[in-house]
């Protein structure tokens, strides 16, 4: 017999027809707009998130944003994204870019395609920022274009998701 409770729980796992994009921001990015504008620009995290959610609405996609200063909370959010059938992730792992095998493992385990974004050009900065634990798993990396980098990543995600067939695989491009 199906109880009310179990049918509600089952409904939660049904993939949504609306493409779902999760934007993840790592530690200290809540400070954007207040300090270090030379590296990170003047936009606040709220400015960035509002623009991304608005663009998603226009395109008929659901864009959710999440910032946390703790590694475990970011990992839990990635696990949640898998349970919610999120289609695409845009992630700025911030300082964890250069340190976190655990965050890398979470993204690898969920197998949700993702673009890695950095506001600053990590290759033009200190040598310890030149290595990322994420780039080889990412569909692509945007680094050094400021807040615009997130918008470009979202445009890519929307295009990528539009090209999906109803079964989730990608349409192949026609040769000319
Ligand atoms: O350029 C990026 O987006 C980074 O991911 C930002 C990280 C840094 O550790 C990476 O190497 C590159 C740092 C985020 C700190 O954000 C702040 C924002 C305002 C004030 C202070 C820190």
Q: Would the CB of 94 count as within 6 Å of ligand 1? A: yes
Q: Over 90: is that where the pLDDT of 11 sits?
A: no
pLDDT of residue 139: 98
List the catalytic residues.
40, 118
The vertex-104 CA angle with 98 and 106, nearest 5°, equals 150
pTM of the model: 0.89
State the distance from the centre of ligand 1 to the C-alpha of 137, rounded, in angstroms.
Answer: 21
State the distance from the centre of ligand 1 to the C-alpha of 7, rounded, in angstroms.
Answer: 43
Assess contact for 95 and 27: CB atoms under 8 A: yes
State the distance from the centre of ligand 1 to the C-alpha of 124, rounded, in angstroms.
Answer: 14
Identify the burial level of 98 via C-beta atoms within 10 angstroms of its C-beta, where 0-12 means exposed, 13-18 middle and 19 or more buried.
middle
Atom of ligand 1 nearest to the CA of 144: 1
Nearest CA to ligand 1 atom 4: 94
pLDDT of residue 164: 79
8 — pLDDT class (breaks 50, 70, 90): very low
Q: Would the CB of 121 count as within 6 Å of ligand 1? A: no
How confident is the model over 111-150, as pLDDT tens digits? 999 999 999 999 999 999 999 999 999 999 999 999 999 9
pLDDT of residue 82: 98
* Residue 164 region by backbone torsions, left for phi larger than 0, else alpha for psi between -120 and 50, else beta: beta
How confident is the model over 28-86, as pLDDT tens digits? 999 999 888 889 989 999 999 999 999 999 999 999 999 999 999 999 999 999 999 99
pLDDT of residue 2: 40
Mutate to test the pocket of ligand 1, among 95, 124, 149 (most ligand atoms within 8 A of CB): 95
How confident is the model over 165-174, as pLDDT tens digits? 655 566 654 4
State the distance from the centre of ligand 1 to the C-alpha of 3, rounded, in angstroms.
Answer: 48
Segment 98-108 shows an average pLDDT of: 98
Q: Which residues contact 47 (CB under 8 A, 6 or more apart)?
A: 33, 147
Q: Over 60: is that where the pLDDT of 3 sits?
A: no
* Spatial CA neighbour of 89 closest among 34, 52, 143, 130: 52
């Amino acid at each position: 017999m199906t109880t009310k409770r179990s049918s509600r729980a089952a409904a939660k796992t049904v993939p949504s027809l609306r493409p779902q994009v999760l934007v993840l921001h790592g530690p200290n990015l809540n400070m954007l707009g207040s300090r270090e504008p030379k590296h990170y620009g003047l936009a606040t995290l709220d400015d960035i998130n509002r623009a991304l959610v608005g663009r998603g609405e226009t395109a008929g996609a659901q864009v959710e944003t999440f910032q946390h200063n703790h590694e475990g909370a970011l990992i839990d959010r990635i696990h949640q994204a898998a349970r919610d059938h999120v289609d695409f992730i845009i992630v700025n792992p911030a300082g964890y870019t250069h340190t976190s095998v655990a965050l890398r493992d979470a993204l690898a385990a969920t197998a949700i395609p993702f673009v890695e974004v950095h506001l600053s050009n990590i290759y033009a900065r200190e040598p310890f920022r030149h290595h990322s634990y994420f780039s080889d798993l990412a569909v692509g990396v945007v680094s050094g274009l400021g807040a615009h980098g997130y918008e470009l990543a979202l445009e890519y995600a929307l295009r990528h998701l539009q090209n999906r067939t109803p079964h989730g695989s990608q349409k192949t491009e026609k040769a000319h």
